[in-house]
Amino acid sequence: MNILLIGSGGREHAFAWKITQSIHCKKLFIAPGNAGTATIGENVPISVTDFKRLGSFCLENQISLVVVGPEEPLVNGLRDYFEATDELKNIPFVGPGKIGAQLEGSKDFSKKFMARHGIPTAASQTFTKESVEEGIAFIQKQPLPIVLKADGLAAGKGVLICDNYEQAQNEFNAMLLENKFGAASAKVVIEEFLEGIELSVFVAVDGSEYIVLPEAKDYKRIGDGDTGPNTGGMGAVSPVPFADGEFMQKVRERVVMPTILGLMKDHIPYQGFIFVGLMNKAGDPFVIEYNVRMGDPETQAVLPRIKSDFLELLMSIGTKTLGQYTLSVATSTATTVVMVAKGYPDAYEKGKIIEGLNVAATENSLVFHAGTVSGGSGTVHTAGGRVLGITGLGEEIPDAISNAYACVEKISWDGANYRKDIGQDILLLQK
């Protein structure tokens, strides 16, 4: 079959890598893709938000499955556009419609959803321009630190953790009264701070059936030892030792099942992935956030551990036959180290030639591209903040870590940066 994959990051390169291993894959197109996806499929220069051109591309190229990587087209209603168009509505589609995508697109929506369905999460209250005074009074009564969240999508920057009341008050005012995050901060959620260790849990959903995929731990801060500003994610490890049978059972019973049942009770159709960001607070799971897609870089650590046919998994999401799919997962481990451009997560450099790509990967490591473009005559240039995701594989986590870093060390460009401590916290926890 012909498949259209939408997106251009490391997550999409990992999807493309896994999809093209399937015997069912005839031709894979990626819109718009990156220099990595171009080596295994055909990149098509269509923006992820150009619904019309994505639709006509599907018709012209006999596409039998559409897979959406990032949240933006989902929140903006790409699925709804396909469903409203006669010629497109029968193409199996992986990714929720606009209403389901509100789980990520609106923090206020997701907090109300969790409250309605008894899903454990931090206590919170939502405020608007009209209720600024009440919000300020509310802030004064909260223990420190205080978590402020812009309601809408804010490119991963909309969450602020404030250590004192003055900062919380100033940021709250800036979000509501000075549109700090534009329309995304027209509503602000004030939330209790959860202490614990974070975990990313991924669920494939076809509307009624679901399968929990391997979990992963993300490394959000730019610097070693979890220092410096937040990023999209600087690394990942899968599996996560503290997510043992007992903890994952709690996650299924308290979070995953009530989420799927909640969607059904609320008559929200959902075919796609749900990524639950969790806090393990003294052995109990609390939801920090929902995302309506797979995680990046977590996907680069999760997918290499899936042994069963990933395209069949995607098809069974799109055709509501997930109940017939059997997931098979390797017991071995994966560690992903993200290599980023100089300056990231602030303004960063672009256009640097990447050296070593052709010799870097081994049988124990994989190179996934994110912000890269082909520079002609076989060269690859940096074109984004997060440039590459290098995944090491190994029986045990220390093997996966050393295989990842051995590969990272063979790759270079002017100003390349990466964390040196991915997975080290997990090794300490295991001791």
Contact residues toward ligand AMP (CB under 6 A) are 122, 147, 156, 159, 191, 193-194, 198, 220, 277, 288-289
User: Residue 211: beta bridge partners?
Assistant: 204
The footprint of ligand GLY on this chain (CB under 6 A) covers a number of residues equal to 7
Instruction: Closer to ligand GLY by CB, 9 or 207: give it.
Output: 9
Residue nearest to ligand GLY (CB): 233
In angstroms, give the least distance from the CB of 350 to ligand AMP. 25
Nearer CB in complex with ligand GLY: 79/386? 386
**C-alpha gyration radius of the chain:** 21
Q: Is 296 in the site for ligand GLY (CB under 6 A)?
A: yes
Assign 258 to helix, strand or coil.
helix
> Could you tell me the smallest distance in angstroms from the CB atom of residue 85 to ligand GLY?
29
Q: Considering the rule CB under 6 A, would residue 298 count as an interface residue with ligand GLY?
A: yes
**Which of the listed partners (ligand AMP, ligand GLY, none) does 194 bind, with a CB threshold of 5 to 8 Å by partner kind?**
ligand AMP
Q: How far is the CB of 214 from ligand GLY (least distance, A)?
A: 15
| Partner from ligand AMP, ligand GLY, none binding residue 296, C-beta < 5-8 Å depending on class | ligand GLY
- As measured in angstroms, the least distance from the Cβ of 159 to ligand AMP is 4
Establish if 96 lies at the interface with ligand GLY (CB under 6 A): no
Q: Min. distance of Cβ 378 from ligand AMP in angstroms? A: 38
Identify the sign of the CA torsion 413, 226, 230, 8.
positive
Binding residue for ligand GLY, selected from 233, 272, 389, 394, defined by CB under 6 A: 233
46 binds, among ligand GLY, ligand AMP, none (CB under 5 to 8 A by kind): none
Q: Is 295 in the site for ligand GLY (CB under 6 A)?
A: yes
> What contacts 107, CB < 8 A, 6 or more positions away?
126, 149, 150, 151, 152, 158, 187, 189, 289
The answer to the question of residue 235 lying near ligand GLY (CB under 6 A) is no
From the list ligand GLY, ligand AMP, none, which binds 295 (C-beta under 5 to 8 Å, kind-based)? ligand GLY
- Give the list of residues 6+ apart from residue 152 with CB closer than 8 angstroms, or none: 105, 106, 107, 158, 181, 183, 184, 185, 186, 187
Asked if the bond preceding 145 is cis, omega within 30° of 0, the reply is yes
CA angle 343, 349, 350 (to 5 degrees): 145
Strands (E), 235-346: 235-238, 272-281, 284-291, 333-340
Closest to ligand GLY by CB, 53 or 220: 220
Should residue 69 be labelled a site residue for ligand GLY when binding is judged by CB under 6 A? no
Residues from 201 through 220 that contact ligand GLY (CB under 6 A): 218
Residue closer to ligand AMP by CB (options 127, 310) is: 127
| Cα separation values, 124 from 112, 115, 191, 396, Å | 10, 10, 4, 39
What 98-101 contacts at long range (C-beta under 8 Å, 24+ apart), as own/partner pairs, is 98/74, 99/268, 100/74, 100/263, 100/268, 100/269, 100/270, 100/272, 100/292, 101/71, 101/74, 101/75, 101/77, 101/292
Nearer to ligand GLY (CB atom), residue 73 or residue 295: 295
Min. distance of Cβ 357 from ligand GLY in angstroms? 23
* Subset of 253-292 contacting ligand GLY (CB under 6 A): 291
In the complex with ligand AMP, the residue whose CB is nearer, 16 or 162, is 162
Q: SS3 of 403, please?
A: helix
**Edge-to-edge strand list for the sheet holding 2-7:** 42-43, 27-32, 2-7, 63-68, 93-94
288 binds, among ligand GLY, ligand AMP, none (CB under 5 to 8 A by kind): ligand AMP
Going 184 to 186 to 187 to 192, the CA torsion angle's sign is positive
Distance CA 341, CA 346 (A): 10
What residues line the site for ligand GLY (CB under 6 A)?
218, 232-233, 291, 295-296, 298
